[in-house]
Amino acid sequence: AAGVIQSPRHLIKEKRETATLKCYPIPRHDTVYWYQQGPGQDPQFLISFYEKMQSDKGSIPDRFSAQQFSDYHSELNMSSLELGDSALYFCASSLGQGLNQPQHFGDGTRLSIL
Amino acid sequence: AQKITQTQPGMFVQEKEAVTLDCTYDTSDQSYGLFWYKQPSSGEMIFLIYQGSYDEQNATEGRYSLNFQKARKSANLVISASQLGDSAMYFCAMREDYNYGQNFVFGPGTRLSVLP
């Protein structure tokens, strides 16, 4: 079965640079979530989209923005990168927003800031 | 306050034995969902099992079962017949009704090591 696709898998950037992470949800999934997981931490929710509209916002810095496109893929744009942004970034998707809908995660993008 | 508590930072279990990973949660909602995820050292997050707050029966998925005690607000994951490939971080997560359609809250995780 098709899973959530994230690209790139690994990304190395320097401080103050920008980065764009991409996420392709499972076909027919209309909801996309972004998470940031620091080393040894649990995933922290950043932002989510339902039917191409932002549905919730978590601990996303103002330097980051995201959107969901007409084909339901999503991009997380990160600017003025800082050392503390080094983390594993997950995208997850679900079919609808019901309480019983699990979020299916991609393999993540490992971002390293030098 | 922590919404999800996993009191065992690390657990060891002998191969082929059963193990229980603890999860307690805090919510004032009547409707909520509880989920368990597995994260191997390779990093991906794998959905294991779901329990709804109104489900009367404990959820089961293969070797995974959920010991759901609503009054105690606990949702412990039981893995039967442990395998070496079960060695991973395990996260308990909750979605609440007031947070309808939005993010999960994750616990801090438990690292399970299966010994040969």
Low-confidence ranges of chain A (pLDDT < 70): 1
Q: How many CB pairs under 8 A join A and B?
A: 63
With CB atoms and an 8 Å threshold, state whether A99 touches B31.
yes
- Which of A97-101, B12-16, B55-59 has maximum average pLDDT? B12-16
What's phi and psi for A84, nearest 5 deg? -70, -10
Decide if pLDDT at B101 tops 60: no
Angle, CA A79 vertex, CA A75 and CA A85 arms, to 5°: 90
Q: Any chain B CB within 8 A of the CB of A74?
A: no
Backbone angles phi and psi of B78, in degrees to 5: -110, 125
Q: A28 has which bridge partners?
A: none
Single out the residue of B2, B15, B3, B30 nearest to residue B86, CA to CA. B15
Q: Span B97-113, mean pLDDT? A: 78
pLDDT above 90 covers what percent of chain B?
A: 82
Q: What local confidence, expressed as pLDDT, does residue A10 receive?
A: 97
| pLDDT tens-place string over residues B58-81 | 999 999 999 999 999 999 999 999
* Count of residues making up chain B: 116
Interface residue of A6, A10, A42, A46 to substitute, partner B, most B CBs within 10 Å:
A42
Residue B100 has pLDDT above 70, yes or no: no
From B16's Cα to the closest Cα of chain A, the distance in A is 27
How far is the C-alpha of A30 from the C-alpha of A97, rounded, in Å?
9
**Is A89 buried (19+), middle (13-18) or exposed (0-12) by CB count in 10 A?**
buried
Chain A nearest-CA distance from B43, in A, is 7
Residue B73: both structure tokens together = 């607000």
Give the single-character DSSP code of B116: -
Cβ neighbours, 10 Å, residue A84: 9
Task: State the average pLDDT over residues B30-38.
Answer: 93
Among partner residues A43, A97, A108, which is closest to B101 by beta-carbon distance?
A: A97
Partner B contacted by A39 (CB < 8 A): no
By three-state DSSP, how is residue B85 classified?
Answer: helix
Q: Determine the straight-line distance between the first and last CA of chain A, rounded to whole angstroms.
A: 36
